[in-house]
């Protein structure tokens, strides 16, 4: 397996083509493997391709549940990561 790369998914979406599903319908969009292999690589600010840093946030408690301090998504459970923005959650705080 080759080195992990941070690729530009937005650029690949523009190259997607219709492809067949298991029943022959053209309902999926696919990107050919050669396009993925030749995809533009984004610069890695942390230097280590296997250690990308995630944004952090906190679950803020309110009367109707908890919400993410980064994106505002409400939830009733305190996950380790926000399901909407992907922020890694640190210690929760009351609001």
Distances (CA, A) of 67 to 74, 81, 82, 91: 4, 12, 9, 13
Kindly list the domain boundaries of the chain, sorted by start residue.
Answer: 1-47, 56-94
Average pLDDT over residues 31-53: 70
CA 34 to chain centre: 22
Judge contact between 87 and 68, C-beta under 8 A.
Answer: yes
Is 67 within 8 Å of 60 (Cβ atoms)? yes
pLDDT band at 84 (very low <50, low <70, confident <90, very high): confident
Which pLDDT value is given to residue 3? 65
What pLDDT is attached to residue 80?
A: 85
């Amino acid at each position: 397996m080759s080195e992990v790369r941070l690729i530009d998914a937005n650029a690949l979406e523009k190259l997607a083509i219709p492809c067949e599903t298991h029943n022959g319908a053209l309902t999926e969009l696919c990107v050919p493997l050669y396009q993925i292999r030749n995809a533009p690589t984004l610069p890695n600010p942390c230097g280590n391709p296997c250690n990308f840093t995630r944004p952090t946030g906190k679950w803020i408690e309110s009367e109707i549940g908890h919400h993410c301090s980064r994106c505002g998504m409400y939830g009733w459970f305190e996950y380790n990561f926000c399901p909407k923005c992907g922020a890694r959650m640190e210690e929760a705080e009351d609001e």
